Amino acid sequence: MTRATVVLMLLAAGPATARGTSAVVEAGPVRLSLAEAVERALEVSAQLRELEQLRLAADADVNKAHAERWPTADVSAGYTRRSDIDEFLIPQPPGEPSVGFLNLPDNWRVSARANLPLYAGGRLSGQIDAATESERAAGLDLDARRRSVVLETENAYWRLLTARESERVLREGLSAFQAHLKDARNRERFGLAAHSEVLAVEVEHERAELRRLRAENAAEVAEANLVRLLQLPPEAVVEPTEELESPPPIPEDLEGLVQRALEARPERESLLARVRAAEASVRVAQSATRPHLGLTGGYLYASPNRNFVPPDEQWRSSWDVGVEVSLRVFDGGRTSAAVARAQAGVEALRQRLDDLERHIRLEVTSAHLAVRAAHVATRVAEGAVAAGEESRRVSADRYREGVIPSSELLDAEVALLEAGLERTRALAETRLASAQLDRAVGR
């Protein structure tokens, strides 16, 4: 277990006292790599825990469907007090016991019955198939949500890093503007520059400060979002350890990615499982039109046992075994309506599956193009930064020699700042687009 994981576990445990909270916060910022952030988000996600419980419920439905194949047995015991009746006795020869109906107000019984379904017209197998496919769909839903949590965490992580990096670029730009502003004011004091040059530098300086403030606010919002996903204390400070450098390689051909997505996306597999579950439900509905066959048996131990005639106060036992066949010959159209409804549900799921496959293709295509564009934008931005640095260096030298006015140096400084911000945005877009492509492909 890494040190960062230990820190996260302490933060997740929550403050026991106000003093304990201060101790955790004063420990310093929470340094996280992308992998550690994703691992933490998967551990604490309430949505994943909810879907896990739904998967367990679906697993219980599978066990219930299998249990329908087993016999059911009931055991009961009871006592009944009957009202007194007039006894009816048939005269018998001397020495023979009396025969007739005796007054037996106290009735005791202990019984057991068992039923075993032998054939249910396909209802049992259909219920098992439907429950099994539903359980598989629930597991795939959990997998799909897990991938969504990974993507959401990666987006939050890279957006925080982008906002922090943008703020750093703007701070560097502010330093250059401040030095330029100081030099412009000195030149104005000695009559070497007009006041308009000072005002122009001041305006750009204020604009850069405003953009830095907006980047700082964006960083705070991104950090709050990441703190929410990781379920850290609100006052926690997250410090990403990754860098916006070395973008991932350009992915393979588009059609190959689309085919991989269609094979690997858990959402598609989940919907296919639900289609199979719906088809099994059709078989369950159709089973009502077929005969049902069952084996029954029972045991009775009672006083009096009324299976014996004439009844008396003796405890006697009896048993029975039988086979029952039933066939519903008319139900007013209930079965046909249930079958039609189940078949309509199957067709609706197939249409949703077709739409999902088209959406997956569009999603992969969009993410693939975004990655390609982001790589090109990164190369262009890096070239712009290199050109901007050289242009600013040359302009600064010429400005100090008095060859060019302050406005040209100011233009070079603004261009360099814009190039730095564009490079940061391009690197971030590459990371975000790559994460989106991984999610779209099902990786």
Question: What residue spans define the domains of the chain?
Answer: 3-80+104-441
Integer Cα distance of 182 and 400 in angstroms: 13
pLDDT mean over 242-267: 80
Q: At what angle do helices 123-189 and 46-67 cross, to 10 degrees?
A: 170
pLDDT band at 19 (very low <50, low <70, confident <90, very high): very low
pLDDT in tens, 156-204: 998 998 888 888 888 887 787 777 777 777 777 777 667 777 788 778 7
pLDDT mean over 273-294: 91
Q: Which of 101-105, 121-125, 350-354, 381-385 has the highest average model confidence (pLDDT)?
A: 350-354
Q: Choose between 252 and 427: higher pLDDT.
A: 427
pLDDT mean over 287-298: 91
- Taking the complete model, does pTM exceed 0.85, yes or no? no
Integer Cα distance of 425 and 419 in angstroms: 10
pLDDT mean over 55-64: 93
To 5 degrees, how large is the angle CA 197–CA 199–CA 201? 70
The yes-or-no verdict on residue 148 having pLDDT over 50 is yes
Task: Assign domain 3-80+104-441 to a CATH class.
Answer: mainly alpha
Q: What are the C-alpha distances in Å from 360 to residues 142, 151, 254, 435, 441?
A: 18, 16, 12, 15, 8
User: What helix, strand, coil percent values describe the chain, rounded to 5?
Assistant: 65, 15, 20
The pLDDT, as a whole number, for residue 18 is: 34
pLDDT band at 24 (very low <50, low <70, confident <90, very high): very low
DSSP single-letter state for residue 289: G
The yes-or-no verdict on residue 12 having pLDDT over 50 is no
pLDDT mean over 255-266: 87
Helix (H, G, I), strand (E, B) or coil at 363: helix
Q: What are the backbone angles phi and psi of residue 302, rounded to the nearest 5°? A: -145, 160
**What are the tokens at 115?**
């039923």
